[in-house]
Amino acid sequence: MSTRRRFTPKLLGIGYIFSELHYGIFARNWWEPVSLELKNTVVTAIPFRLYMCITCNLIGKDFILTVVKNNKNQLKPGFQCTCECISSEMELYSSTAINSCYQKVFNTKTEYSGISIMGFDDKNIIQQLLDKVEFIPIFLRIEKFSTVISGIGYSSFDQFYGAGTGFISSFITRYKGLQHLFLLRIEDSQCIVEIYLDDNKIQQYIGLTPDDVWKNVGVHKNFLGSYIFGITHESIQQLLNFGNQKFTCLPNEWCNHKKLSKIFDCHIMTRKIPNTMINWIRLLDDWYKQHSTIVQFPSVLTQIYPENYKFQNKELRAWRAMFQACGCSDITPLSRTKSQIEFWSKAYDIRADKENLYNLYKTNLLSIDNKSESITTQQKCWESFQNAMNSNKRGQDGRVRILSIIALKFRYIDLQQELKVTPYIINKARKHARLHGPGAPPLNKIKRTVQRIDVSKEEQFKIVFQDRENVTMSSYQIEAKSGLPILYLRDQKCNLWNKYSESYPTGIKRTNFMARLQNSKNLKYRDDLGGLCQICNDYGYETFENLSNIIRSNFEDKTIMNTVLNKLDNLKRQMKRGFEKELKINLDGKVTHNPCISHCLLYAFGECDNNHETRCSECDQFFNFFNFMSKNISENWQSKLIEAKEKLLYYLSHQARKVYLNAQFKTTLLELDLDGAIIIADYKMRILPQSARETKQDFFGKRGWTLHTILIFTKEINSNELNIAAYDHWSLDTKQDAWFTASAFEAVFETIEKKPKWIRIISDNGPHYHNSELMAIISHWHDWYNIEIKSWLFLEPGEAKTTVDSHHAAITHAIKRYLRIGCNLSCGDDIVQAVKGLSGTSLANLEPNRNIEDETHELEELDKSKNIRKKKSKMKTIKGISKLFYWEWPCQDKYAGYIRARPLPHVGKWSNFSPSCIADLWNSPLYRSQPTVSQYTVPETKWTMPITVESDSFGNGIDITENNIENEGIYNFKISYIEKNTSENLDIWKIIDIIDLTVISNNINNIEDIDIDIEDITENNIENEGIYNFKISYIEKNTSENLDIWKIIDIIDLTVISNNINNVEDIAKGWALKGTQKFGGRGGKRIKKEIKTLLELFFLNGNRQQKDKMSAREMHIELMKYVETEEFLEEDIPKVSTIQNWINSYARIFKERATERELNNE
């Protein structure tokens, strides 16, 4: 039985059929294609009659649907629904109108079918709508096109395939990047193709046959016009053959008035021309009785039309078709372009009549009213232009220049019809006339010579934009044309130019540098990099958005609000860009003490015990901003403000660790020798099966393949390049865990011919790498593969994997190109075919052997009596593993066999795990993975990378040494240095601050000879304004001729030191270590046992009584009542999402226990 909803619509108004709408250009929109039988007749379409009204009752309310004209396109229908006083907008579709009105009335999202509401499945309504409809448009599916035949005309021309005047067909396809409607009309033995964009006709082509005119269009050239417009379709051919037999006759049948009426209705009445004829049948009767077989056209028509009637072209075309269907022929000696008078004959054999007329015309006995001399002269002018254009070459100095003489004086359509030129040529001719004058020669352009850039300079440009300090690489986006990964600039272009010019003084010029940046499609400003790193997105970008919302909710004054928002923007800029630039790491990967506490990485990692004399005023924006916000927002927002502060501190620590770990990658490459190798490992996002022609429905439900990449960096003798070998493993096993990772390394170690003596591994800190199981497995690698594993460095998410990200981007581009040429990605071998051309890349299929332990050792015992499986216990977790990012496996000295780990390289205390401790992690022996690996592909070319060596950089390029200062003194040294070096590009205050910091660090603070009142220099003033701003404000107030500006600055600085202004309470030691962060840890806070007991009671009560069943939110509300009675703290109550996860897990466990109990009872 059908479950389709039934409605009882009523037809209030039948509406009207308008030929210009229902059989016009957009006839397809005025008819609804159906397929049903009505009174032994198959109905193929139902009309949307203009102004028809349908009412239907939905949930006790009457909805009235009306068909009107579309506001945007008067040739298309529109639909409007009304219920009581509520009306929808004018919509393009009936379903949209009814659903829009329904949602306004009931405020729900229930949807209905507009066709059903309009009663198009009610036979009584359909019969009324089809009343007095003479012709129903025919909808055809030809190839991928939906062709609609909205008019039928007949002829006996073989090249028209039976179609004649009045035949109209249309379809929609893509043209010049947009969907256009193509309309074919046959009129007066001519075929016209018109192209419409909405209701605007943008192009028209005229031809002798449907096939000829379609060739002129130049679209879908592999189809014939007669085929694509449906003329040769089987059903249309049957209709045309039947019509040609039915609506034609011979002169001896003119006495059959009934047959003549059908021909008249077919050729005259269907042409939509004014019905002003008087007894039209008398015309044929008189002609039939006439002794002569020849009549003059169109003067013969005057006897049935009113006096002085002006004939329209379409009326004349209709009568020509009528005469032709009645067995008459045109025997005029001249063509219609040369004569306005035509002669038609009713004779069966027209050769005698045609020859007589021709002889009379030749002997000047027949006077034909030729067209006026002016028309002939105009035609000669057009022919002259046509000959001139054909005789000249193409281009702006040929055809375009000649056409420019008249291009501005005529319309596009006139020039196209008379000269057979395209709109493109006309447009160029008009531009020529405006720029150079009509027919004037064009100005000669100055030839510009361009010199190619040397290869060495090209390499210099690439090296600069391979540096992670200058760009951030997207790990999932590539530039479509070049296939290069997207690089986001981390600084302004002028600053990047300064870096380039300092590194390569003899490189390319500034103009060339800027032009290359502008034209490089893969180099972009990083407007939004939230997707590159989950931490940056969650704790950086989203947190700043939340702070913006807090500001807008608490400050009503727009001036104050904009000021605070500007402060927030400055803070955002400092945290995302400025802070990273101030952090300095040596080439050996270590950091040294920095006098500025804000930029001292040793202090941030908890390793610095030295005194810090200064703080960064830019970094202090963070604390100043949150202090200001806490004093000026309501208490309701304080908790969110504190949470935002903690998140930004975590984001800032992530930035510090990221910069530090990125530098370790370069340090590791510099340590590479001939015996070792550097390995970078990473999983690519899962590769899904794809097709060159895939629908959206085909996408869902795919499993795809895992792709794991291992890059091995090695060094050769006497070479300044590193060799990179990429081993890509695709697998049907989509479980990315420690066992798969170990299997991938097993396959690589057993494949490489020359094994390295030692390796260092770098990867992200994903759970498939950073886990206890893999750390324990690696402790056996030296025994299994005879390779010393010196270290494994776990990086921050999404960072410092430039090379492997570039490799994955190249794989993505290769797969897209493989699909673009028509291939499908249906099996793993297709991945190999798509990617095998990449340099240095070897591919193989890898399937981990996850049953190896079952084959060698019984891990599961089966209790045959109870039929219960006892699974082995899970592997234990190394304590504090989530806080340890640097691991070593020594093979010598006293720690041989141990696993050693610390928070960061060169940072923190070592955590040592003895062999016995490692063995306790497992309750069974460890086995090698032994995966199944196919044959590796052999790369066609090598993959190499140049070795770049950078020098340490500290400070700002200012030559300040302790000896210089001691020799000249603080006061004299400042004056002499500034006089030498101050320029427009060097900030005097920045120089003073740097000199002061150097002075402080060397304890040069003698002020015995300085006599000045320092009462205004107080701790409060300096704390409120900051050291830098206080210097400026104090100097502006107190500087005079008798007061030395430099002495004031010295006194301010020394006062700062003496008052110990550098308070470090808000900058805790070790603030950047992950172990000290509130956020970012793996896992979450466990639910207390007492709360878990309450949740179980809530769950079981719901199972016992359905009415007591509670959702996660209801459970959370119930737990909050215990907070009000002070039985629990609010921070102990889990979130709604946590409770929902607990419900899912507990429900699964509950079902398993119930199943086991049932099995035990059996």
CATH of the domain at 206: 3.30.160.360
Query: How many domains are there within the chain?
Result: 9
Q: How confident is the model at residue 361 (pLDDT cuts 50, 70, 90)?
A: confident
Confidence check: pLDDT of 1096 > 70: yes
- Give per-residue pLDDT as tens, 427-479: 888 888 888 888 888 877 777 777 778 888 888 888 888 776 777 776 556 77
* Concatenated DSSP letters of 1001-1065: HTT----TT-----TT--HHHHHHH-HHHHHHHHHHHH--TTS-HHHHHHHHHHHHHHTT----T
How crowded is the C-beta side of 114, counted as CA atoms within 13 Å? 22
- Whether residue 989 sits in one domain with residue 914: no
SS3 at position 1116: helix
Q: Which residue has tokens 């130049």?
A: 218
What is the per-residue pLDDT for 80?
Answer: 92
Q: Is the dihedral of CA 1072, 1076, 1081, 1084 positive or negative?
A: negative
Asked if residues 905 and 760 have their Cβ atoms less than 8 Å apart, the reply is no
- Give per-residue pLDDT as tens, 193-237: 999 988 888 899 998 889 999 998 888 888 999 999 999 888 888
Buried b or exposed e, range 592-622, using 16+ CB within 10 angstroms: eebbbbbbbbbbbbbbbeeebbbbbbbbbbb
d(CA 327, CA 260): 12
Nearest-CA neighbor of 677 among 759, 763, 745?
759
d(CA 1131, CA 1128): 8
- Residue 780, phi then psi, degrees to nearest 5: -100, -5
Beta-carbon contacts of residue 529 (< 8 Å; ≥ 6 apart): 472, 488, 536, 541
- Whether residue 599 sits in one domain with residue 486: no
Average pLDDT of the chain to the nearest whole number: 78
Q: Which residue has tokens 């790990």?
A: 475
d(CA 81, CA 96): 9
Domain presence at residue 57 = yes
Residue range 135-163: average pLDDT? 86
Residue range 644-658: average pLDDT? 85
DSSP 444: P
Residue 227: count of CB within 10 angstroms of its CB = 17
Confidence check: pLDDT of 70 > 90: no
Beta-carbon contacts of residue 755 (< 8 Å; ≥ 6 apart): 749, 785, 786, 787
Angle in degrees, CA 177, 182, 183, rounded to 5? 165
Buried b or exposed e, range 685-711, using 16+ CB within 10 angstroms: eebebbeeeeeeeeeeeeeebbbbbbb
Nearest-CA neighbor of 403 among 379, 425, 381?
425
Residue 382: count of CB within 10 angstroms of its CB = 15
d(CA 12, CA 449): 77
Last residue of a domain, one of 94, 129, 164: 129
Where do runs of H (alpha helix) occur along 47-182? 94-106, 114-117, 123-129
Beta-carbon contacts of residue 50 (< 8 Å; ≥ 6 apart): 15, 16, 17, 18, 21, 67, 68, 69, 77
Highest mean pLDDT, choosing among 349-353, 538-542, 971-975: 349-353
Buried b or exposed e, range 835-868, using 16+ CB within 10 angstroms: beebebbbbbbbbbbeeebeeeeeeeeeeeeeee
- Whether residue 272 sits in one domain with residue 229: no
- Whether residue 1112 sits in one domain with residue 1053: no
Nearest-CA neighbor of 616 among 592, 594, 597, 593?
597
d(CA 330, CA 1119): 98
Confidence check: pLDDT of 182 > 90: yes
Residue range 880-901: average pLDDT? 86
Domain presence at residue 448 = no
- Whether residue 154 sits in one domain with residue 123: no
Residue range 973-979: average pLDDT? 50
Confidence check: pLDDT of 396 > 60: no
- Whether residue 878 sits in one domain with residue 782: yes
Residue 496: count of CB within 10 angstroms of its CB = 20
Confidence check: pLDDT of 66 > 50: yes
Q: How confident is the model at residue 985 (pLDDT cuts 50, 70, 90)?
A: very low
Last residue of a domain, one of 217, 241, 265: 241
SS3 at position 122: coil
Q: How confident is the model at residue 593 (pLDDT cuts 50, 70, 90)?
A: confident
- Whether residue 825 sits in one domain with residue 714: yes
How crowded is the C-beta side of 647, counted as CA atoms within 13 Å? 20
Amino acid at 1158: E
- Give per-residue pLDDT as tens, 165-179: 888 999 999 988 889
Domain presence at residue 337 = yes
Confidence check: pLDDT of 1032 > 80: no
Q: List 804's β-bridge partners, or say none.
A: none
Domain presence at residue 950 = no
d(CA 793, CA 665): 9
Which is it for strands 61-69 and 77-83: parallel, antiparallel or unpaired? antiparallel
Last residue of a domain, one of 129, 148, 176: 129
What is the per-residue pLDDT for 894?
Answer: 84
Q: How confident is the model at residue 82 (pLDDT cuts 50, 70, 90)?
A: very high
Look up the domain containing 1019 and give its range. Answer: 962-1058
- Whether residue 291 sits in one domain with residue 155: no
Round to the nearest angstrom and report the end-to-end CA distance of the chain.
Answer: 42
**How far, in whole angstroms, is CA 569 from its chain's centroid?**
27
What is the per-residue pLDDT for 952?
Answer: 45
SS3 at position 1067: coil
Which is it for strands 932-933 and 61-69: parallel, antiparallel or unpaired? unpaired
- Whether residue 1109 sits in one domain with residue 1015: no
Confidence check: pLDDT of 968 > 50: no
3-class DSSP string for 241-258: HHHHHHCCCCHHHCCCHH
Two tokens at 241? 């053959």
- Give per-residue pLDDT as tens, 693-731: 444 334 334 457 788 899 898 988 877 788 889 998 888
User: What's the burial of 23, exposed, middle or buried (CB within 10 Å: 0-12/13-18/19+)?
Assistant: buried
d(CA 44, CA 476): 50
What is the per-residue pLDDT for 486?
Answer: 79
Two tokens at 685? 């996002």
Domain presence at residue 163 = yes
Which is it for strands 41-47 and 86-87: parallel, antiparallel or unpaired? unpaired
H or E element: which one contains 1161? Answer: helix 1136-1161
Q: How confident is the model at residue 67 (pLDDT cuts 50, 70, 90)?
A: very high
- Give per-residue pLDDT as tens, 735-746: 888 888 989 999
Asked if residues 1072 and 601 have their Cβ atoms less than 8 Å apart, the reply is yes
Domain presence at residue 450 = no
- Residue 802, phi then psi, degrees to nearest 5: -55, -45
What is the per-residue pLDDT for 373?
Answer: 46
DSSP 219: S
- Whether residue 773 sits in one domain with residue 914: yes
Domain presence at residue 597 = yes
d(CA 930, CA 801): 28
Highest mean pLDDT, choosing among 71-85, 601-615, 1015-1029: 71-85
Domain presence at residue 862 = yes
Beta-carbon contacts of residue 1161 (< 8 Å; ≥ 6 apart): none
What is the per-residue pLDDT for 956?
Answer: 36
d(CA 256, CA 254): 5
Confidence check: pLDDT of 144 > 90: no
DSSP 833: H
- Whether residue 253 sits in one domain with residue 235: no
Confidence check: pLDDT of 1030 > 90: no
CATH of the domain at 93: 3.30.160
Asked if residues 323 and 342 have their Cβ atoms less than 8 Å apart, the reply is no
- Whether residue 594 sits in one domain with residue 643: yes
Confidence check: pLDDT of 868 > 60: no
Decide which of 1077 and 765 is more confident. 765
